[in-house]
């Protein structure tokens, strides 16, 4: 019987009032608080529904970087780094920060200092030395890092501003919403992403002087 009750909680149709609670609380309230508001749902059911709605749990990221460390990381990004989007489709993508260096110790230091940073490498060839890459794709980590470095970056400052603006707008408007008929429709994620991607590509184009107006992506 117990397993039957769990199965019922996971498969029964979601009511509009439940969806409203989920949308309002999933990103900010604790697991226990959300379950207390949705007593007829298991946590598995809640997370699966949230995923289908495009909702994400907010993780508080605080970077304990000294001013010297911030300046060093900003220099690495300006010189050997990339602030961009990884495009997953016409209207879907995710922010990325990639820092490249031939010294593995530099990348390992970054991994220790910045949470959710992953190590990747490119093998040595007759044309290229072996290089190591620190990849950051976690949105809250990117947001925290760029907020710390925004006013220190020189070459990549405009890219940082575009990504920060995109992430802020995504939090406010990027989730799917329901129209008057109760059907799920896309929010304003599409134009936010499309415009941000266009501007990032313009800035990252070889030979660009690094200037680009941000007015297009203000919502």
Contact 174, 192 (CB under 8 A): yes
Q: Is residue 62 part of a domain?
A: no
Q: Into how many domains does the chain fold? A: 2
Domain limits at 12? 2-52
Residue 7 and residue 91 share a domain = no
Which among 173, 141, 163 has a CA at the least distance from the CA of 73? 141
Instruction: Indicate the angle between helix axes 67-80 and 104-113, nearest 10 degrees.
Output: 130
Contact 74, 152 (CB under 8 A): yes
C-alpha to C-alpha distance for 65 and 109, rounded to whole angstroms: 12
pLDDT given at position 129: 84
Residue-wise pLDDT tens digits, 42-78: 999 999 888 887 677 766 788 999 999 999 999 999 9
Q: Is residue 58 part of a domain?
A: no
Domain of 185, CATH number, reads: 3.10.28.10
Residue 98 and residue 46 share a domain = no
Q: Is residue 96 part of a domain?
A: yes
* H/E stretch holding 194: helix 189-204
Contact 65, 73 (CB under 8 A): yes
Q: Is residue 163 part of a domain?
A: yes
Residue 109 and residue 40 share a domain = no
pTM: 0.66
Q: Is residue 197 part of a domain?
A: yes
Q: Is residue 190 part of a domain?
A: yes
| Ranges assigned E (strand) in the chain | 81-87, 93-101, 117-122, 131-136, 177-178, 184-185
With vertex at residue 23, the alpha carbon angle to CA 22 and CA 24, rounded to the nearest 5 degrees, is 90
Residue-wise pLDDT tens digits, 106-161: 999 999 999 999 998 888 777 778 899 999 988 889 999 999 999 999 999 999 99
Burial call 36-64: b when 16+ CB within 10 Å, e when fewer: eebeebbeebbbebbeebbbbeeeebebe
Q: What's the rounded mean pLDDT across residues 164-174?
A: 74
Locus of tokens 């304990």: 64
């Amino acid at each position: 019987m117990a397993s039957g009750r769990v199965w019922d909680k996971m498969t029964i149709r979601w009511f509009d009032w439940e969806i409203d609670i989920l949308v309002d609380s999933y990103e900010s309230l604790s697991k226990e608080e959300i379950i207390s508001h949705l007593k007829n749902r298991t946590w598995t059911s809640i997370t699966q529904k949230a995923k289908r709605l495009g909702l994400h749990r907010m993780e508080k990221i605080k970077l304990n970087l000294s001013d010297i460390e911030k300046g060093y990381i900003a220099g690495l990004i300006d010189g050997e780094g990339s602030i961009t989007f990884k495009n997953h489709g016409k209207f879907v993508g995710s922010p990325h920060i990639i820092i490249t260096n031939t010294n593995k110790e530099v990348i390992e230091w970054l991994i220790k200092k910045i949470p959710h940073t992953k190590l990747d490498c490119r093998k040595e060839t007759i044309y290229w030395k072996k290089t190591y890459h620190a990849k950051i794709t976690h949105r809250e980590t990117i947001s925290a890092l760029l907020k710390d470095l925004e006013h220190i970056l020189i070459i990549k400052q405009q890219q940082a501003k575009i990504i920060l603006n995109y992430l802020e707008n995504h939090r406010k408007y990027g989730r799917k919403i329901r129209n008057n008929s109760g059907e799920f429709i896309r929010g304003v994620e599409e134009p936010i992403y499309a415009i941000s991607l266009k501007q990032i590509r313009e800035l990252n184009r070889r030979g660009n002087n690094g200037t680009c107006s941000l007015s297009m992506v203000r919502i």
